[in-house]
């Protein structure tokens, strides 16, 4: 059994804090441990020895996705993080940075290692070179200088995942992550547009307490964390944003996929950071207790497909993110019910009568 965490790069003040952090890391390391791979280098190891190459590869569940295109890491999956949009929108820190988090381990160099490059990245087969770029990061605690270049695609910084051990592993796909700041969703990347490659959205029912301590409710939810071995196939509540209680904003109406495309979602930009649209690459699938005929899609401005239910676009809430087995990484809860936001009032969806 191998421990996958690298040593912590910064001190923790106080013996009590240090003891708590050590305990947390031991627990998480045990949870995340796996047999050593026959591969020379794991997909998550740091690599920035030259120009990074990005290519496209086919997957069974997610279609064509971006991967590392050459070298010892060829075929390793690449991911984007939805909450990284906040940096482009407001100049805030990157959501995945070396700032302290609940695991006490840097996000951008240890948990989700950034794809770094020494020179301009190279577009491999299936990749649009016009979508490739770089962003300068100054928040890395890595040797070699105060700044590094991270590869971007359609403006999104690209990362790998430390649990992906071999080419083709997709443990980070559709992972609702409470550790980043703010929380966000990790997606594989569609090479044609640079949008999330989500696979088919699967809808089911979820029973959870309202606001962590309130009464339990059963609501419509989306299955996420498809391949995440630590907490697979977790479900998270979905919401609508409506024009209630005098709100002039919100999603007034839309059409399902059988009757034409719906109106544009009211939740764009910063709204989509905190209320990520529920996306799908094909017709969403209804589980028990969910009306298949009520499910549809609308096309968002970036070309991605958002799931609708009875004509209303569906959203996740970033404060619902949690990873059950990890201490301090959130708890199962419905936290967005009835929230009054600048973009409308959020509502959960009850099960069929």
Render pLDDT for 155-203 as a digit per residue (tens, 0 to 9): 999 999 999 999 999 999 999 999 999 999 999 999 999 999 999 999 9
Work out the average pLDDT over 64-74.
Answer: 92
Considering only residues 220 and 44, tell me which one the structure prediction assigns the higher pLDDT: 220
Identify the residue with better confidence: 114 or 34: 114
For the chain, helix (H) and strand (E) counts, in that order, are 3, 22
pLDDT (mean) for 48-52? 77
pTM of the model: 0.85
Q: Return the pLDDT at 258.
A: 40
Among the listed residues 132, 187, 184, the one whose alpha carbon sits nearest the alpha carbon of residue 154? 132
With contact defined as beta carbons under 8 Å apart, do 160 and 115 qualify? yes
How wide is the angle at C-alpha 240 spanned by C-alphas 336 and 192, nearest 5°? 105
What's the whole-number mean pLDDT along residues 254-263?
A: 42
Cβ neighbours for 71, distance < 8 A, ≥ 6 positions apart: 47, 53
* Sequence ranges of the domains in the chain: 37-197, 202-347
Q: What is the pLDDT of residue 243?
A: 62
Computed over every residue of the chain, the mean pLDDT equals 83
- H helices of the chain, in order, are 15-32, 85-90, 270-274
pLDDT tens digits for range 103-127: 888 888 889 999 999 899 999 999 9
The answer to whether 161 touches 77, Cβ cutoff 8 Å, is yes
Q: Average pLDDT for residues 236-258, to the nearest whole number?
A: 60
Strand-by-strand arrangement of the 216-223 sheet: 235-237, 216-223, 202-209, 285-286
Residue 219 near residue 237, CB atoms below 8 Å? yes
* Helix, strand, coil % in the chain, rounded to nearest 5: 15, 30, 60
Query: pLDDT band at residue 72, thresholds of 50, 70 and 90?
Result: confident
* Confidence band, pLDDT 50/70/90 cuts, at residue 144: low
The per-residue pLDDT for range 305-340, each reduced to its tens digit, is 999 999 999 999 999 999 988 888 989 999 999 999
What pLDDT sits at residue 31? 41
Average pLDDT of the segment spanning 126-146? 85
């Amino acid at each position: 059994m191998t421990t996958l965490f690298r040593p912590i790069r910064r001190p923790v003040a106080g013996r009590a804090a240090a003891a708590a952090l050590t305990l947390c890391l031991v627990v998480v390391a045990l949870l995340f441990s796996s047999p050593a791979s026959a591969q020379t280098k794991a997909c998550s190891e740091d690599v920035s020895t030259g120009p990074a190459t990005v290519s496209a590869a086919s997957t069974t569940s997610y279609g064509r996705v971006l991967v590392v295109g050459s070298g010892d890491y060829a075929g390793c999956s690449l991911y984007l993080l939805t909450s990284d949009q906040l940096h482009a929108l407001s100049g805030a820190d990157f959501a995945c940075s070396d700032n302290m988090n609940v695991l006490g381990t840097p996000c951008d160099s240890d948990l989700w290692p950034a794809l770094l490059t020494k020179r301009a990245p190279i577009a491999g087969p299936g990749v649009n070179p016009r979508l490739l770029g770089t962003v300068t990061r100054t928040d890395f605690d890595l040797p070699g200088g105060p700044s590094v270049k991270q590869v971007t695609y359609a403006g999104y910084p690209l990362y790998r995942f430390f649990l992906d051990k071999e080419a083709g592993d997709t443990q980070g796909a559709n992972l609702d992550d409470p550790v980043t700041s703010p929380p966000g969703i990790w997606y594989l990347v569609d090479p044609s547009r640079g949008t999330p490659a989500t696979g088919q959205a699967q809808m089911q029912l979820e029973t959870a307490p309202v606001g962590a301590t309130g009464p339990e409710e059963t609501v419509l939810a989306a299955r996420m964390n498809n391949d995440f071995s630590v907490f697979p196939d977790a479900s998270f509540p979905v919401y609508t944003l409506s024009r209630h209680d005098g709100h002039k904003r919100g999603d007034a109406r839309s059409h399902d996929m059988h009757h034409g495309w719906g109106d544009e979602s009211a939740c764009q930009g910063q709204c989509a950071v905190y209320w990520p649209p529920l996306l799908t690459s094909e017709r969403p699938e209804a589980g028990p207790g969910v009306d298949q005929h009520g499910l549809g899609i609308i096309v968002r401005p970036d070309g991605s497909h958002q799931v609708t239910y009875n004509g209303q676009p569906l959203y996740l809430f970033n404060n619902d993110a949690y990873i059950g087995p990890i201490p301090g990484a959130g708890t199962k809860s419905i936290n967005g019910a009835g929230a009054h936001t600048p973009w409308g009032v959020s509502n959960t969806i009850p099960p069929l009568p």
